[in-house]
Every structure is written in structure tokens, then in C-alpha cells.
Amino acid sequence: MLEPFYPDNEVESAYAIDYEGLYGKGIRGIIFDIDNTLVPHGAPADERAVKLFARLHSIGFRTILLSNNKEPRVKMFNDSVGSSYIFQAGKPGRKGYLRAMRLMQTVPENTVFVGDQLFTDVWGAKKAGIATYLVKPIHPKEEIQIVLKRYLEKIVLFFYHRKNKSSGGDRP
């Protein structure tokens, strides 16, 4: 019942993922959420984000930012990291994820998604057949509707951790 919301992988941070390892496994495209995944809500790209995207592009990845925010917010962040982007993506709908893969010229089997929310980021990516990385939110300050969703996420993650402990194993 809760499985559609379970991440394929859970990591501390988008900055702690073994991207070289993913490339070695055939992953070629990475879709990122921005707010509270790469920087705090509303923050511009910082030095760490700029370095991450330079590293990803030097490895050979195609990247795209997928955000429900309006274009000025997404463009401001993207201007510093030099990725492609989709704004007002309609997450958790599949359409934005499918468009992201078309733009990157990837397919679900060689694409991963990195985000901080189960009910938008992870659920949408899973509906599109994309492996997911759930990261811990960077900053505790969030909009009220997200704060409320975090309480529900805790319940889902409780059952996910209980199930994952018994089954083990993640997917790329």
C-alpha cells in the first residue's frame, strides 16, 4: 500500500552519492529537485552546487532540474550550474519526468532522480519508472504545506525502514 512512496535508495545528501559508481553502472541522466535537495528553499546555487554540476558534467552525465517552482526561481539557480531545467513541472505527475528524459535523451533504465520529498519527488519518479534517491532535507525551514507532509513522510519512512531492514538491497 505504501510501496509507491518508498525510495529506491536513501542517502544523507545529494552531495554524498557515488556518481562515478552510477556512471559505471550505466546511468547517464540525473534529474534533480532543487529546494532542500541541493540548497535551502529559495537559495541561489552555492559553490558546492556549482562544483557538483561541473563534476557531473565532466563525468559525462546529462542533468536536468525538475521543479514545481516558477521559472524565475529555477532559472536563477540554473544560471549558476549550467543544467537544463523544467519549471512548473507538475510533480508528482509523470509528464515532467518523461519530458526530462526526452530532453536528456535517456530512458528510465539509465536515469535516476534525486529529491527530498516522498509525495512529489519520489512518487512521481517511480510512476515514470525512474530509480530514486531520497536525500535528507538540507534545512528545517519549509513552507507550511511541506511541514505537514513531512509528518506523513515519517510514517511512510517508518514502514519503509522496517521493510528494507528485512529485505536489504537498493537499486541504482
Q: How does pLDDT run across 66-79, given as a tens digit for each residue?
A: 999 999 999 999 99
Kindly tell me if the per-residue pLDDT of 169 is higher than 80. Answer: no
pLDDT reading at 166 higher than 70: no
Instruction: Please tell me the predicted confidence (pLDDT) of residue 161.
Output: 77
Rounded to whole angstroms, the Cα distance separating 59 from 8 reads 23
In a domain, residue 70? The reply is yes
Distance of alpha carbon 110 from alpha carbon 115, whole angstroms: 17
Count CB atoms within 10 A of the CB of residue 6: 20
Residue 115 lies in a domain: yes
11 assigned to some structural domain: yes
pTM of the model: 0.87
Q: Establish if 128 belongs to a structural domain.
A: yes
Q: What is the pLDDT of residue 5?
A: 86
For residue 22, being part of any structural domain is answered with: yes
Residue 65 lies in a domain: yes
pLDDT at 81: 97
Confidence band for 158, pLDDT divided at 50, 70 and 90: confident
- The full DSSP string for 33-92 is --BTTTBSTTPPP-HHHHHHHHHHHHHT-EEEEE-SS-HHHHHHHHHHH--EEESS--TT
Question: What is the structure's pLDDT at 59?
Answer: 98
Q: Residue 12, SS3?
A: coil
Residue 74 covered by a domain: yes
Q: pLDDT tens, 94-134? A: 999 999 999 999 999 999 999 998 989 999 999 999 999 99
Give the CATH number for residue 135.
3.40.50.1000
Segment 5-64, tens digit of pLDDT: 889 999 999 999 999 999 999 999 999 999 999 999 889 999 999 999 999 999 999 999
Higher pLDDT, 161 or 83: 83
pLDDT at 168 exceeding the cut of 60: no
Amino acid 145: pLDDT:
65
Confidence of residue 141 (pLDDT cuts 50, 70, 90): low
> Does the residue 172 lie in any domain?
no
b/e code 135-154 from CB counts within 10 Å (16+ = b): bebbeeebeeebeebbeebe
Q: How many domains does the chain have?
A: 1
Which residue range forms the structural domain that includes residue 85?
Answer: 3-167
